[in-house]
Amino acid sequence: MANAEYAEMIEMPVSTCEMVAVPEKKRSALKDKLLIRRVNKNAEKELKQKSPQKADENVPKNTLTSETEIVEIAPSEKKEKAKKQTSKPAKTAVSNAVDDDAKAISIAAAKEKTDEKARKFRFNVVGAEVAAIFVLAVAIILTNVFWEDSGINTMIKSVFGTGEAAAVLDTRKAEEFTVFAPASGEILTLDNGVMTFSEKAAVYPPENGKVASVEIKDGKYTLTIAHTDVFKTVISGADAAYVSVGDSVYKNVPAAYAKAGTTVAMYNGGDIVTDYILDNDNVIWQS
């Protein structure tokens, strides 16, 4: 830069400016600082002598006016300082982020562990309940089989009404039914309430009922059919029996097979029923 241009910039005579030219390549950061300091000191003195107020107004904005401000930081030092200033917050932010992640992971792990314990506890409770129900069911079954009058059976029967209902006797007598002859009246004879077969034929129950007993003696069958608790029919001397004890029988289905001499009699309790006559296949009551 020419002396005239520099003097015009700082508004002072050319003769008062002192310029020191140093080869740029040989300068060091310290020499640059010293040169800037010396030039600024001289410029500051000249401006103060001329007019302090005007000097302040006319000093270029890029010119430093104090000793502390004159010292510039070398580019390498600026980069190092900026790096230190920016690295600390960055390291702090990273550290905080890592800590936050670690805390979040720890909290999630603790929650998962707690949930797992809760699930295990629930499963254990459910398993215990199922086991208790199974044991109770087995106990009920065993007591039903081996101890019918046990306390638990009595309680269950009283609560759920599983006890046997009070037996109600069916006291209807033979005369209260419309009964039929055990075979065609043409092959039957009636004598004092006893009907006797004169030839072989199927034997029909006079009324629906259930087989109470089946006995065999000398090749002959005796069947007792219960119609009510007091009314029953006894078939004696049959050649064959078509039913077994506990079977239900019906008056339109044969229960046995008779030969000549097979007898059929109806009873009310222990008394033979005699007050009827035969009209072909029908029984006619006389009372």
Ordered domains of the chain (ranges, CATH): 3-75 (no CATH), 174-285 (2.70.70.10)
Side chain identity, residue 61: K
State the pLDDT confidence band at 190, using cuts at 50, 70 and 90.
very high
- In this prediction the pTM is 0.45
Give the per-residue pLDDT at 197: 96
State the pLDDT confidence band at 66, using cuts at 50, 70 and 90.
very low
Q: Which of 12-16, 42-46, 52-56, 178-182 has the highest mean pLDDT?
A: 178-182
Give pairs for 56-59: CB < 8 Å, separation 24+.
58/10, 58/11, 59/10
* DSSP state, residue 166: P
Mean residue pLDDT of the chain comes to 76
Q: Exposed (0-12), middle (13-18) or buried (19+): which is 188, by Cβ within 10 Å?
A: buried
Average pLDDT on 106-115 reads 74
- Given a cut of 50, whether residue 204 has pLDDT beyond it is yes
Give the per-residue pLDDT at 80: 59
CB-based contact 235:243 (threshold 8 Å): no
- Given a cut of 50, whether residue 67 has pLDDT beyond it is no
- 262/70 Cα distance (integer angstroms): 151
Q: Is 193 helix (H, G, I), strand (E, B) or coil?
A: coil
Find tokens 């003195």 and name the residue.
Answer: 45
- Given a cut of 70, whether residue 165 has pLDDT beyond it is no
Give the distance, in angstroms, between the CA of residue 112 and the centroid of all CA atoms in the same chain: 20
Portion of the chain with pLDDT greater than 70, in percent: 59
- 87/98 Cα distance (integer angstroms): 16
